Amino acid sequence: MQKITPCLWFNGRVNEALDLYKNVFSDFKVKEVSHYAEGAPMKPGSIMTAVFEIFGQEFMILNGGPHFHFTEAVSFTVHCKDQQEVDHYWNGLTANGGQESQCGWLKDPFGLSWQIVPNALVELMTRKDPEKGKKVMQVMLQMKKIDIAKLEEAYNS
């Protein structure tokens, strides 16, 4: 068991969230599910909590009702080896009601914020030439989904 597990507060739609993450992340697995009993504050039999794992990281969903909402103050970063991975995660997490934001950020259909970051972005911005890194940063700031080819073009210009 890992020492710290992020707990994500949902207002219903837990099954939809689990389905989305299962379809987007290749190694997704549900580890535990508990359900509300008769007399609980939510519909009896509905999911109360679900513990799942993505790439070895455990998360918990709490179906807690409408009291709290996600904000961009907390996001999860997905490090991507290439444009194909960027496109896969971006398209999967923005499908069915997700929202694109700026600089590789997005919200999934449940309002949870994700950063889809290609390894090339960090590499190009931290190479020895700070002026070229600034060019890469300026191009990245104009993007929603990160386009590695455009970053490389900026670096090499």
pLDDT of the residue at 2? 86
pLDDT of the residue at 30? 98
pLDDT along the chain (157 residues), means of 10: 93 95 97 96 94 97 95 97 98 97 97 98 88 94 98 94
pLDDT of the residue at 59? 98
d(CA 108, CA 99): 6
pLDDT of the residue at 109? 97
d(CA 114, CA 148): 18
pLDDT of the residue at 111? 97
Q: State whether the Cα torsion 33-58-147-113 is positive or negative.
A: positive
According to CATH, what is the number of the domain 7-63?
3.30.720.100
**In this structure, which amino acid lies at residue 18?**
L
According to CATH, what is the number of the domain 75-156?
3.10.180.10
The residue assigned the tokens 């190479």 is 127
Q: Do domains 7-63 and 75-156 have the same CATH topology?
A: no
Helix 119-126 / helix 130-140 crossing angle, nearest 10 deg:
140
In the chain, what are the domain boundaries?
7-63, 75-156
Q: In terms of DSSP bridges, do strands 7-10 and 57-63 run parallel, antiparallel, or are they unpaired? A: parallel
pLDDT of the residue at 129? 86
Helix (H) or strand (E) holding 7: strand 7-10
pLDDT of the residue at 126? 87
pTM as predicted: 0.93
